[in-house]
């Protein structure tokens, strides 16, 4: 016996074997459809009896295994069902002859046979025959199952008669010696009259009758016969048959303890009537094996009456004893080289029992023994089957990694060099089945949930084998998917050289079949999820960038706090988790994008590869409003460290937009990387409100740009220098560079906090001319003149002023040149006014800063109450011009008049002309001080003019 049945289980000892075979030309699908219907009749309750007959069907059975039918009767083919197609009556004689020829193959053991003929109609088909059934077609055969049940009942009749014949055999000294095929030559010339020989014959026959009783549904009778056989065979050291008797005893006990079977197939067996009736007789574990009345065993024959044994014996083995007897049986089988198949199948049966008992370690010992059983020269197909079954059994007892090992060995056996046509599809399928045993999943999400599980080196080897097998199958898409998975999940375990080799292989595959994000469906129903490259490059942070202050949308307070708007905003916010409420509130209300404007998201990325990484087609993944992503390409140096990357896009409609992630193309593989799948990013998405479109202005000035004011967020800034009292015009040009028309424009100014005393308006303008050009279309511009006037108080140089208390004159503060009302130091007569020391006293520069804010709106955003602000910073450095260093009076001829004497000092580097009404002009050179007399009756205007320009300073004197 050289072909093992790897599906054997202990309850198979209770079954009768029926072979179902096609005959002639029968379509394969039709045959297996009929075979499935036939095999559905797996047990039949015998009429007028409480017994059940179990049937085991096979569509292929080696004839040499049938020769072991006397050793174990469940291996004997007792029934044959042939399925054939016959379309005409002329073909019938040939079909009948074939059927008889097929019966001759198993003729020595067959109890009964049936022939199912499909397609034949007419006189031949109308003949009434018990062994032949005619059907018009494969679809029109309603009573197949009923015919099979009748066929099984006929087998039972023959089985029962044989059991009775064997049990009541009174042949005396002529008792037959049952043999296995390899024993026949060993018994030639033995003394058949010896007591030893007769006991051998009795023990083997007892064992054989036990097999027949077990098949016939007489469990207790079988147990008694097995016990007797064990005692007889052990006494004569008939180890092979002793092993069979022990195995039969174990099988009967397993059937008693586990009526549902041990095969692991749900619904495979239903508890028989006899088993249910015997359930109450189950004895406690560890009970005595058997108590046999010696008088029940005759010297030369088998006692026909076993009732005394049944009444006295505690026949069934306990669950612990079952395993011990299996070990003894297997040990006995191991003494015979030709019994390797029997030994292997016994190990498999014991493992299935131990799996039910949840005794995994003991089961592994049986399996380890099965691995080393030598079955001689096995075909490649038999090797694959052997390793596959070992894998399933290890899986059954919970040894997942061991199971994966043998399944991988089976996969490699499918493509062994000795096979003319390697089965790469079968190899690939088996390799996929090994993944769970090595803690490997083809879903990349399972690798982002914490620490790595399993042996990375073994997993890498297995993934490489999957890549190679899929390539040999002619499926480059599968190769790309598995290689992408390897690179994404095993990157940390690859050496620098391996990273280069894997990426080169991936680029070679993707040149023929680019990788994408589609789900790959395999023929067996397995689906391979997409593999996004979230580690190429690695993103450690993601942040949304707010618009610049010059284009940031602002909502009118009146519109923002309308009841309708407040209701809608909070209705949406109530759907947000409580702990995120404040964050999202700020995100929606204070951080907004504008329809049609370029929006930015910044990622902090780094390249973990030991070579330059090129990333192409990198853009944003969004949901919500229509969004046009503007992809970018970048090249990251080897192990670059953190590197900022800005991704941009344009929202085309208004509403809420969610930034879900980004997409890339690396090594020819397109990836959609979601933020929720990134280890370094804690957000699963960022929601931003997109407001309706607004116009956009660009600001230009007649003065050059300067550095921004430190305390303000400005669009641009200008700076200039003025002498105190000087006025200069600044021309501001506003151009509409957006797509929406400008409908409204407002201009305001704010002077920044200063300690300087300012006289008059610092900035003045007339906006009417600009407003007359509205609405302003895209590409049009408008100019606004702004006058800048610098009038500050420079009277703080008190060390050069006279104390006028002696003269009784009160001096009031003037815009440019009046002393403060305070007690001053005595005049220093020895310090000329025109010296360098005194000159530096007047060179103090004061600064004025202000912000011009343009508030404008238009388009759909204006309807919703949104506007934009454009700010211009103005910085003016004001230098002093003239100082009145001494003021005194002289009486005039009229009491209504007086002569005012002024000592005027020119602190500039220019020549100045000082003039007043009805008086002569006074010319002052740079850093020169002169006395000027003025007859004072009314308020006069006084100006100074440098010779090279038209600069004027007005001075107002109080009465």
Selected residue with higher pLDDT from 299 and 305: 305
Neighbours of 821 (CB within 10 A): 11
461-470's contacts with Cβ under 8 Å and 24+ in sequence apart are 462/408, 462/431, 462/434, 462/435, 462/438, 463/490, 465/408, 465/411, 465/431, 466/428, 466/431, 466/432, 467/505, 469/411, 469/415, 469/424, 469/427, 469/428, 469/431, 470/428
pLDDT greater at residue 168 or residue 628: 628
Query: Is the bond into 354 cis (omega within 30 degrees of 0)?
Result: no
Which pair of tokens denotes residue 591?
């951080």
Quote the pLDDT of residue 208: 95
d(CA 611, CA 677): 25
Which one has a higher pLDDT value, 932 or 128? 128
CA–CA gap between residue 212 and residue 53 (Å, rounded): 11
Q: What percent of the chain has pLDDT over 70?
A: 81
Of 895, 729, 904, 739, which is closest to residue 814 (Cα–Cα)? 904
- First-to-final CA distance of the chain: 139
Question: Which of 184, 201, 213 lies closest to 67, judged by CA?
Answer: 184
pTM for this entry: 0.73
pLDDT for position 213:
95
Q: Which of 76, 277, 97, 102 is nearest to 158 (CA)?
A: 76
| Residue 251: pLDDT band with limits 50, 70, 90 | very high
Residue 464's nearest CA partner among 454, 479, 442 is 479
Q: What is the pLDDT of residue 706?
A: 82
CB atoms within 10 A of CB 345: 25
Summarised one tens digit per residue, pLDDT across range 681-691 is 877 778 889 99
Higher pLDDT, 208 or 913: 208
Tell me the average pLDDT across 697-705: 89
Identify the weakest region by mean pLDDT among 114-118, 231-235, 309-313, 670-674. 309-313
With contact defined as beta carbons under 8 Å apart, do 533 and 484 qualify? yes
User: Which stretch of 491-495, 528-532, 561-565 has the lowest confidence by average pLDDT?
Assistant: 561-565
- To which residue do tokens 């009174």 refer? 170
Q: In what order do the strands lie in the sheet with 882-891?
A: 882-891, 898-906, 929-936
Are 222 and 214 within 8 A, CB to CB? yes
404 pLDDT band (50/70/90 cuts)? Answer: very high
At residue 311, the pLDDT reads: 39
Q: d(Cα 737, Cα 697) in Å, to the nearest integer?
A: 6
**Cis amide prior to 775 (ω within 30 degrees):** yes
Is the pLDDT confidence value at 2 over 90?
A: no
Q: Which residue has the higher pLDDT, 798 or 504?
A: 504
> What is the rounded distance in angstroms from the CA atom of residue 480 to the CA atom of residue 516?
9
Contact 881, 723 (CB under 8 A): yes
Cβ partners under 8 Å of residue 327, min gap 6: 350
- Give the mean model confidence (pLDDT) for residues 472-497: 93
**CB half-sphere exposure, 7, CA atoms < 13 A:** 7
Round the average pLDDT of the chain to a whole number and report it.
Answer: 81
At residue 318, what are phi and psi to the nearest 5 degrees? -75, 170
> pLDDT tens for residues 136-185?
999 999 999 999 999 999 999 999 999 998 877 655 556 788 888 888 77
Mean pLDDT of 911-934: 76
Residue pLDDT, tens place only, 34-92: 999 999 999 999 888 889 999 999 999 988 889 899 999 999 999 999 999 998 888 89
What whole-number distance in Å separates Cα of residue 900 and Cα of residue 889? 5
With a cut of 70, say whether residue 569 has pLDDT above it.
Answer: no
Residue-level pLDDT at 290: 34
Both structure tokens of 951: 């600069």
- Better-scored residue on pLDDT, 216 or 710: 216
- The CA angle 249-253-259, to the nearest 5 degrees, is 140
pLDDT digits over 890-901, tens only?
A: 877 777 778 778
pLDDT in tens, 737-793: 989 999 999 999 988 866 777 777 888 999 888 899 889 999 999 999 999 988 887
Using 50, 70 and 90 to split pLDDT, how confident is the model at 486? very high
Q: Which residues pair with 635 in a beta bridge?
A: 614
pLDDT, position 315: 81
Q: Give residue-wise pLDDT tens across range 350-381.
A: 999 999 999 999 999 999 999 999 888 888 88
Q: Which residue has the tokens 């094996």?
A: 289
Residue 795 pLDDT:
64
d(CA 635, CA 615): 6
SS3 (DSSP) at 748: strand
Task: Map residue 595 onto helix, strand or coil.
Answer: coil
**Does residue 588 register a pLDDT over 80?**
no
């Amino acid at each position: 016996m050289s072909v093992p049945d790897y599906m054997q289980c202990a309850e198979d000892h209770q079954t009768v074997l029926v072979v179902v075979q096609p005959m002639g030309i029968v379509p394969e699908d039709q045959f297996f459809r009929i075979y499935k219907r036939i095999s559905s009749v797996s047990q039949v309750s015998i009429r007028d009896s409480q017994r059940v007959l179990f049937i085991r069907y096979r569509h292929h059975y080696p004839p040499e295994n049938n020769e072991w039918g006397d050793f174990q009767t469940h291996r004997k083919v007792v029934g044959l069902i042939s399925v054939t197609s016959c379309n005409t009556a002329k073909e019938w004689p040939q079909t009948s002859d074939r059927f008889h020829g097929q019966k001759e193959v198993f003729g020595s053991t067959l109890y009964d046979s049936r022939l199912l003929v499909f397609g034949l109609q007419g006189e031949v088909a109308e003949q009434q025959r018990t062994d032949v059934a005619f059907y018009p077609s494969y679809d029109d055969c309603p009573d197949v199952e009923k015919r099979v049940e009748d066929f099984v009942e006929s087998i039972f009749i023959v089985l029962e008669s044989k059991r009775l014949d064997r049990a009541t055999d009174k042949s005396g000294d002529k008792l037959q010696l049952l043999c296995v095929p390899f024993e026949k030559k060993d018994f030639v010339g033995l003394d058949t009259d010896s007591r030893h020989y007769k006991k051998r014959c009795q023990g083997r026959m007892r064992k054989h009758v036990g097999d027949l009783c077990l098949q016939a549904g007489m469990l207790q009778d079988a147990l008694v016969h097995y016990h007797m056989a064990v005692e007889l065979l052990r006494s004569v050291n008939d180890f092979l048959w002793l092993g069979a008797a022990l195995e039969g005893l174990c099988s009967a006990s397993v059937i008693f303890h586990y009526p549902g079977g041990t095969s692991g197939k749900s619904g495979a067996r239903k508890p028989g009537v006899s088993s249910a009736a015997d359930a109450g007789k189950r004895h406690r574990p560890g009970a005595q094996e058997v108590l046999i009345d010696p008088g029940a065993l005759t010297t030369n024959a088998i006692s026909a009456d076993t009732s005394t044994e049944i009444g006295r014996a505690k026949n069934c083995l306990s669950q612990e004893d079952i395993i011990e007897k299996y070990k003894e049986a297997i040990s006995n089988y191991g003494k015979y080289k030709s019994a390797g198949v029997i030994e292997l199948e016994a190990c498999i049966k014991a493992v299935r029992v131990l799996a039910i008992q949840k005794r995994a370690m003991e089961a592994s010992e049986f399996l380890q023994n099965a691995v080393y059983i030598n079955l001689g020269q096995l075909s490649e197909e038999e090797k694959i089957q052997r390793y596959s079954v070992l894998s399933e059994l290890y899986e059954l007892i919970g040894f997942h990694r061991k199971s994966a090992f043998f399944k991988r060995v089976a996969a490699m056996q499918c493509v062994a060099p000795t096979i003319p046509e390697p089965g790469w599809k079968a190899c690939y399928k088996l390799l996929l089945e090994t993944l769970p045993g090595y803690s490997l999943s083809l879903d990349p999400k399972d690798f982002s949930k914490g620490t790595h599980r399993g042996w990375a080196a073994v997993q890498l080897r297995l993934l490489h084998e999957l890549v190679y097998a899929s390539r040999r199958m002619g499926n480059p898409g599968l190769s790309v998917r598995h290689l992408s998975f390897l690179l994404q999940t095993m990157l940390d375990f690859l050496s620098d050289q391996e990273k280069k080799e894997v990426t080169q292989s991936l680029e070679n595959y993707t040149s023929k079949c680019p990788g994408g994000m589609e789900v790959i469906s395999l023929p067996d129903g397995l689906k391979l999820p997409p593999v996004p490259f979230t580690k190429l490059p690695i993103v450690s942070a993601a942040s949304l960038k707010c618009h610049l202050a010059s284009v940031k949308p602002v909502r009118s307070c009146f519109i923002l706090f309308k009841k309708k708007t407040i209701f809608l905003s909070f209705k949406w916010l109530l759907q947000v988790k409580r702990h995120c409420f404040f964050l999202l509130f700020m995100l929606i209300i204070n951080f907004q994008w504008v329809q049609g404007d370029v929006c930015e998201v910044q990622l902090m990325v780094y390249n973990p590869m030991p070579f330059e990484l090129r990333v192409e087609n990198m853009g944003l993944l969004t949901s919500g409003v229509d969004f046009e992503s503007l992809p970018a390409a970048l090249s990251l140096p080897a192990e670059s460290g953190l590197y900022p990357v800005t991704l941009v896009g344009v929202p085309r409609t208004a509403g809420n937009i969610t930034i879900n992630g980004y997409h890339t193309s690396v090594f020819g593989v397109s990836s959609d990387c979601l933020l929720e799948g990134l280890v370094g990013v804690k957000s699963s998405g960022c929601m931003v409100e997109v407001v309706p479109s607004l116009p956009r202005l660009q600001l230009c000035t007649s003065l050059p740009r300067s550095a921004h004011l430190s305390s303000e967020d400005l669009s641009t800034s200008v700076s200039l220098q003025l002498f105190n009292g000087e006025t200069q015009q600044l021309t501001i040009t506003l151009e509409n560079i957006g797509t929406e028309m400008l409908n409204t424009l407002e201009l305001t100014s704010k002077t920044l906090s200063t300690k300087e005393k300012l006289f008059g308006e610092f900035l003045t303008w007339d906006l009417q001319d600009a407003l007359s050009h509205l609405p302003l279309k895209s590409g049009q511009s408008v100019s606004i003149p702004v006058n800048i006037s610098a009038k500050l108080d420079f009277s703080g140089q008190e060390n050069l002023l006279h104390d006028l208390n002696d003269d009784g004159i009160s001096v009031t503060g003037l815009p440019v040149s009046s002393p403060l009302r305070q007690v001053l130091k005595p005049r220093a007569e020895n310090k000329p006014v025109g010296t360098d020391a005194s000159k530096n006293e007047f060179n103090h520069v004061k600064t004025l800063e202000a912000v011009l804010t343009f508030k404008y709106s238009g388009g759909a955003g204006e309807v919703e109450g949104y506007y934009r602000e454009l700010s211009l910073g103005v910085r003016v450095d004001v230098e002093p011009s003239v100082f009145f260093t001494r003021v005194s009076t002289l009486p005039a001829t009229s009491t209504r008049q007086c002569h005012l004497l002024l000592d005027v000092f020119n602190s500039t580097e220019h020549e100045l002309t000082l003039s007043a009404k009805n008086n002569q002009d006074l010319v002052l050179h740079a850093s020169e001080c002169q006395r000027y007399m003025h007859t004072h009756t009314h308020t006069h205007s006084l100006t100074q003019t440098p010779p090279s320009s038209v600069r004027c300073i007005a001075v107002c004197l109080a009465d």
